[in-house]
Amino acid sequence: MYSFHFESRVYAVIIGHIQNFTDISDTVNYQQAKDYLLAKPEATLDHPFGPKPDVFKIHNKMFATLSSTDGNAYSNLKCDPEEALMLRDLFVEVKPGYHMNKKHWNTVHLDGNLPRGEIERMIDNSYKLVVNSLTRGTRQAIAIKYGPKAIYR
């Protein structure tokens, strides 16, 4: 069962982001998503499953995948379990994680319908969740090197 407080807070944040979009046509394609993912501090690109998908990691921990099939780009992003369900309710482009633990991962279809700000927010959250799972010393070293705003935005 969901916590009403958490659910209300997350919905309010997501809806607030959506309402702030002035140009809904400003979205993210495959290359833009790849560039944004690689711009995260200490992010690396790996291919542990073969040439597809692109796997993005921080300190050998995966925070995203990115792939394209028949010109349709999509990304798997880590997510808080309750927020994952809410995002699936709000956006038809967000589905349970393909080939992932569906409780903790969402697949986001980059089909031009989700605004850039929402996609970037989901990427940022995925990155933060994985950074928070690193050891305290590693987190502190990254924060000192790049600044907390670069990591926890």
80 by Cβ neighbours in 10 Å (0-12 / 13-18 / 19+) ranks as: middle
Which pLDDT belongs to residue 5? Answer: 47
Which pLDDT belongs to residue 9? Answer: 54
Fold (CATH) for 4-151: Aspartate Aminotransferase, domain 1 (3.90.1150)
Which tokens in the block code for residue 123? 């990427």
Residues in the chain predicted with pLDDT less than 70, given as ranges, are 1-25
Which pLDDT belongs to residue 2? Answer: 40
Which pLDDT belongs to residue 56? Answer: 98
12 by Cβ neighbours in 10 Å (0-12 / 13-18 / 19+) ranks as: exposed
Which tokens in the block code for residue 153? 């935005």
Which pLDDT belongs to residue 146? Answer: 92
Q: What angle do CA 150, 92, 115 make, to 5 degrees?
A: 40
Where in the chain are the domains? 4-151
Which pLDDT belongs to residue 150? Answer: 84
**Could you report the per-residue pLDDT of 68-111, keeping only the tens digit for each?**
988 899 999 999 999 998 999 999 999 998 887 778 899 999 98
Which pLDDT belongs to residue 4? Answer: 45
CA distance 32 to 88: 23
